[in-house]
A = this chain, B = another copy of it.
């Protein structure tokens, strides 16, 4: 890969997510050469993907060009590529566009949807971890409504309007809330000849509560909010298969559905050559020490979702969310500079800023460290925090305009089938 040689040590970061970008920013204007590799040329603000899927936001406003984030940093290089393999002995990375030597390597490759090895579910259900996936889901939802209009078979129409969301974490809950609002606000206007009552939204949760990582109050209130919106929550039910028509479970329950969203888990994206059994742990994450060093290496690190840093409070690693990723990225930036200057590194300490989820209009649940609240105020807090953390002034403006519009008009205008999903897989 044609990265110019430099007298500065070269730090290669794989992945431009929350962790990778936070780290790169920390390294700016320092005496290091930074090479960031990503298969997309943009950073994705994943917490708002569900709004892209449900027509509330345009994809462009929750993405941000990576080159632009880092444009003022000298010694910074971005390359758009897949990473295929890492040769740790030779400190060499193999990519689609050539090899690259590193002095320090940071794996920030993030996570992907975990289908737990069920290839039939993987083939037929929708994931929502990237912008193209979210756009596919948007197309599918709209295509299914169009198709529901055409069929004279009532069972088929019911299946086309029956949404099954597997997993009651923040993603599943927020998506369910948005779909419930579409059912209430948009369906009757856009499809006056469809019986809106047929549209059903189901969350299937394997354990006995939704929003498992949050407080009991948040979980109960979220359930309450969802039920008021008409969402069915099926607890202690585990999905066993989905053949493209019927969702089967470990109980007698089955669901005929044309739209199944798999939000039941994620797993780390490991890279060949850096996938030894000794450090690949639960959920395909890489076990790291308190300095985010991967076991057995002094110059290879992992941060964000892919990293599993075990602590007393979090024996399975930190939750796979934005906050731990950003904090690890920032801390590692400092530690790398310390390491290069032969100063001691500081152990990572996670500052838990809490968690939140929104369940549609005026409804959210927020768990801060000392203060937990639900309802309208929580909803404002949710919006403010998301606007604040979104990268880019233009994105914030456009998202703000959309949110105000959607709120005032009870609408979501980005309901466009720009790239049909069904046709594509048929043709």
Q: Does A271 contact B (CB under 8 A)?
A: no
Per assembly, the copies of the chain total 2
Contact B150 A418 (CB under 8 A): no
Contact residues, A340-395 vs B (CB, 8 A): 392-395
Contact B413 A97 (CB under 8 A): no
Interface flags for A2-38 (1: CB within 8 Å of B; 0: not) read 1010000000000000000000000000000000000
Bound complex: CA of A71 vs CA of B143, how far in Å?
A: 18
Contact A394 B413 (CB under 8 A): yes
Contact B418 A395 (CB under 8 A): no
Q: Does A41 contact B (CB under 8 A)?
A: yes
Interface flags for A59-96 (1: CB within 8 Å of B; 0: not) read 11101110110010000010110000000000000000
Q: Does A209 contact B (CB under 8 A)?
A: no
List the B side residues contacting A402 at CB < 8 Å: 394, 398
Contact A150 B1 (CB under 8 A): yes
* Known contacts A135-B418, A146-B41; A152 and B405 CB within 8 A of each other: no
Q: Does A239 contact B (CB under 8 A)?
A: no
Q: Does A131 contact B (CB under 8 A)?
A: yes
Chain B residue with the shortest CB-CB distance to A131: B418
* Known contacts A80-B146, A146-B41, A401-B398; A65 and B415 CB within 8 A of each other: yes
* Known contacts A2-B152, A152-B2; A393 and B405 CB within 8 A of each other: yes
A-side interface size class: 35 or more
A374 CB to closest chain B CB, in angstroms? 29
Contact B418 A80 (CB under 8 A): no
A250 CB to closest chain B CB, in angstroms? 37
List the B side residues contacting A337 at CB < 8 Å: none
Contact B413 A77 (CB under 8 A): no
Interface flags for A383-427 (1: CB within 8 Å of B; 0: not) read 000000000111101100110010001010111111100000000
Contact residues, A178-208 vs B (CB, 8 A): 189-191, 193
List the B side residues contacting A40 at CB < 8 Å: 416-417
Contact pick for A397, options B59, B401, B418, CB 8 Å: B401
Bound complex: CA of A81 vs CA of B193, how far in Å?
A: 17
List the B side residues contacting A60 at CB < 8 Å: 58-60, 413-414, 416, 418
Bound complex: CA of A132 vs CA of B419, how far in Å?
A: 7
Q: Does A279 contact B (CB under 8 A)?
A: no
A80 CB to closest chain B CB, in angstroms? 5
Q: Does A322 contact B (CB under 8 A)?
A: no
Contact pick for A58, options B61, B65, B189, B397, CB 8 Å: B61
List the B side residues contacting A131 at CB < 8 Å: 418
List the B side residues contacting A413 at CB < 8 Å: 60, 64-65, 68, 392, 394-395
Contact B418 A132 (CB under 8 A): yes
Interface flags for A33-64 (1: CB within 8 Å of B; 0: not) read 00000001110000000000000001111011
List the B side residues contacting A191 at CB < 8 Å: 67
* Known contacts A146-B41, A191-B67; A417 and B80 CB within 8 A of each other: yes
Q: A42-B416, A60-B60, A98-B150 are in contact. List 5 more A-B contacts (CB 8 A).
A: A4-B193, A41-B146, A58-B61, A59-B60, A79-B146
